[in-house]
Structure formats: C-alpha cells, structure tokens
Amino acid sequence: MAIMNVNPTRMQMSKLKKQLLTARRGHKMLKDKRDELMRQFIELVQENKKLRDKVEKELSECNAHFINASAVMSRQTLDSSLMSSKQQTGIDVKSKNIMSVDVPVFETVSASPDEGDIFPYGFAFTSFELDDAVSSLNEVLPDLIKLAEMEKSCELMAAEIERTRRRVNSLEHVMIPRYEETIKYISMKLEENDRSSRTRLMKVKDMLLEKAHNYSDKNES
C-alpha cells in the first residue's frame, strides 16, 4: 500500500490520526447504511415479485376475456367499441425518502367518479365478454401502476447500494490502510530522527568535554 506524500512531522501525524478517526467513523456509518439498504431492498424485491406474479396472472385473464370477445364480435365492431374513452385516468407522481434515496410514489387520479364510464360504448351491440375484458383491465390498472412504482424504486435503491458499496470498499481497502501506513511511516521516521538527534547530541557533548577538559565521559568511566 503506497503511503501519502506528506512531510513526516508530528503535526502532520496528528492531522492524519484525526482524518483516520473520521474515515473509520464514516466507514461504519456507510456499512450500516448499506446493510439497511440491502434489508429494505430485499423486502421490496420480494414484494415486487409477488405483485408481478399477480399482475401477470391478471393480464393473462384480461387477454383471455379479449380473445373470447373477439370470437363472438366482429373485428370492426370490437375496434369501434374501444375507439373512444369516456374516462381519463392520470397519475399523480410524488416521492418518499428511503435511506437518502428518493423513490417515486404513483397514485391514480380518475377524471370521472362514475365507475360506468370505464365502458366507452353502449351495451346494445357488444357482448358481455367485452364487458368482462374491460372490467378486468380496469381492475389490473392500479396493480400495473404499483408495479411500475416498485420496480423503479428497486432500480434506484440498487444504484444507491452499489454507490455505497464502492465507497465502503474504497475506505476499507484504500483510504484507511493508506492512513494507517502513512501514520506508521511517520512514526518510524520520527523515532529514527530522535535516535539520530540523540546520537549527534552525545557526540557533540563528548567533543565539547574533550575540548574543554581534554577527556571524555568514556575515559572518565
């Protein structure tokens, strides 16, 4: 692990120790965030799978109803019956925050409160199979919108989990070891400098004593 390009001073070592402490705290917080995101993501994925299975079953039933309707009605009559719509449905888009991730919340908004407006045709020239098809499609619509909301939430949370995982790995395998190696290097360098300084001081002392009294501590002992 490469050390940082810094001056090996006590002030710099003190600064790095504070940065290392901050990095360790940040690493713990990010790990906790990643773990909680993973927990909520797994729960959301499980709910998403259940809802997807339900929607696929409902759509299969809708398709069966439309097949039955097309079997007893002409293609021209079927197309003209579904050409215009009495009821318009919109989506109100909001958001909620899950562990700093803004996920969407979709709510259906109907322009008409009359449930009968889901049928865009009169009943004189259509079959009950078409009524069943339209009713079943109207019932599956909220689930389809909810499924879109959950799948988008899963996508956003997966992206945030990946970003958090990279930051955790960067701190754990790069930044924290680099701080530790640099602090260790500075500590060894300072100890080496201290030993060198003591050696020089002892030599200077011996030289001064020998010059002043013509003897050294070694001879005296």
Query: How far apart (Å, rounded) are the C-alpha atoms in residues 208 and 204?
Result: 6
Long-range contacts of 6-12 (CB under 8 A, 24+ apart): 6/182, 6/186, 8/185, 8/186, 8/189, 8/190, 8/193, 9/186, 9/190, 10/190, 12/186
pLDDT tens-digit map of 16-51: 999 999 999 999 999 999 999 999 999 999 999 999
| pLDDT greater than 70 at residue 134 | yes
pLDDT of residue 209: 74
Which structural domains are found in the chain, ordered by start? 30-161 (1.10.287.3240)
Portion of the chain with pLDDT greater than 70, in percent? 86
Please state, rounded to an integer, the average pLDDT across all residues of the chain: 84
Report the distance separating Cα 191 and Cα 189, nearest Å: 5
Identify the top-confidence range among 46-60, 117-131, 188-202, 204-218. 46-60
- What value does the mean pLDDT take over residues 101-124? 72
In the predicted model, what is the mean pLDDT of residues 11-17?
92
State the sign of the Cα–Cα–Cα–Cα dihedral 163, 168, 171, 177: negative
**Angle at which helices 176-213 and 10-72 cross, to 10°:** 170
pLDDT digits (tens, 9 = 90+) for 57-98: 999 998 998 888 888 877 887 777 777 666 777 788 899 998
pLDDT recorded at residue 201: 81
* pLDDT score recorded for residue 89: 74
Q: Tell me the average pLDDT across 185-194.
A: 87
